[in-house]
Structure 1
Amino acid sequence: MAANPKTTLYVGGLEENVTEQVVHAAFIPFGDVKDISMPLDQATQKHRGFAFITYFEKEDAAAAMDNMHNGELYGRVLTVNFAQPQKIKGGEQGWASQAVWADADTWFERQQQEEEMKRLNAEHLATVSAAEEAERKKLKEVREGETEADDAVEDPMAAAEAEALKAS
């Protein structure tokens, strides 16, 4: 069912005795019908109560939907809407209306972007670590310089007291 979703209708609420010929006869007044699909129940081999009708023209599909929605067929009220694309397993969210491999290019691009981000983060961390190490060395040198300067120049109060003791 790879048809244009605007030309394919979902028809729900079909009575058990409805056949493809009956559906065709009910929907042909609105335009040329390209295809009718009535999925079967595997256990009972009867249709599951709905059908998909594909028209050649989207205007015909719109007219059929407008006229047949909430209409009656074999005593049952029909639900007629544009069909949604068939969901297939795969894709990035687990279910998609596209093939599993359809998002392969974006997946590869995303993987490359993630690797590039990891590389940039590693470079950033290395730069930060180098800057922190340089800062630590600088502080260490400044502190060592302060202790040497303290040893070279005595405390002025202590020097004054020592001179006062010598004078007395």
Structure 2
Amino acid sequence: MNESRLFVGNLSYQTMENDLQEYFSQAGVVTSVNLMLDKFTGKSRGFAFVEYATAAEAQNAVELLHTKEFQGRSLTVNIARPKEERPARSGGYRGERSERHDHR
């Protein structure tokens, strides 16, 4: 698990990556910001991942910024959990063929 990567939620839909870079820099050296966008509309999904140079800086950011107001919203800031493996979804028909549809 990457202890230096944060999940940041409850973001304003107008928040940009550079806004987060600047704001989160008060807790330490930010190495990357990944604002999650809707793949169809290109608009913010209201959350992001912020990565710090060290786990200590990330923990400092959680303590300093969790529940703080940023651009009119109360932030959720936590150490990011690894993405859970989800079972593959398969589409298609799985039922047995009923006798009603048998053409004789």
TM range (shorter): 0.7 to 0.9
Establish whether residue 24 from structure 1 lines up as the match of residue 21 from structure 2.
yes
> Which residue does the alignment assign to 1:143?
none
Take 1:72 and 1:49, find their aligned partners in 2: how far apart are those partners? 14
**Larger proportion of strand:** 2
SS of structure 2 residue aligned to 1:45: coil
CA RMSD of aligned residues (A): 1.4
Take 2:23 and 2:34, find their aligned partners in 1: how far apart are those partners? 14
Establish whether residue 48 from structure 1 lines up as the match of residue 45 from structure 2.
yes
Q: Of the two structures, which has the highest relative contact order with CA contacts closer than 8 Å and spacing of 6 or more?
A: 2
Choose which of 40, 45, 54 in structure 2 pairs with 1:57: 54
> Which residue does the alignment assign to 2:6?
9
Take 1:17 and 1:46, find their aligned partners in 2: how far apart are those partners? 9
Take 1:28 and 1:62, find their aligned partners in 2: how far apart are those partners? 13
Take 2:68 and 2:2, find their aligned partners in 1: how far apart are those partners? 22
**Larger proportion of helix:** 1
Take 1:38 and 1:46, find their aligned partners in 2: how far apart are those partners? 10
Q: Structure 1 residue 7: deviation in Å?
A: 0.4
Instruction: Report 1:108-147 matches (<5 A).
Output: none
Give the TM-score normalised by structure 1: 0.50
Unaligned 5+ segments in structure 1 are 96-168
Identical columns (%) = 34
SS of structure 2 residue aligned to 1:52: strand
Take 1:39 and 1:86, find their aligned partners in 2: how far apart are those partners? 14
For residue 49 of structure 2, what is the amino acid of its counterpart? F
Choose which of 59, 66, 81 in structure 2 pairs with 1:69: 66
SS of structure 2 residue aligned to 1:49: strand
Q: Structure 1 residue 51: deviation in Å?
A: 0.4
Q: Structure 1 residue 88: deviation in Å?
A: 3.2
- The structure with the larger Rg is 1
Count of residue correspondences? 88
Take 2:56 and 2:29, find their aligned partners in 1: how far apart are those partners? 11
Q: Structure 1 residue 87: deviation in Å?
A: 2.2
Unaligned 5+ segments in structure 2 are 89-104
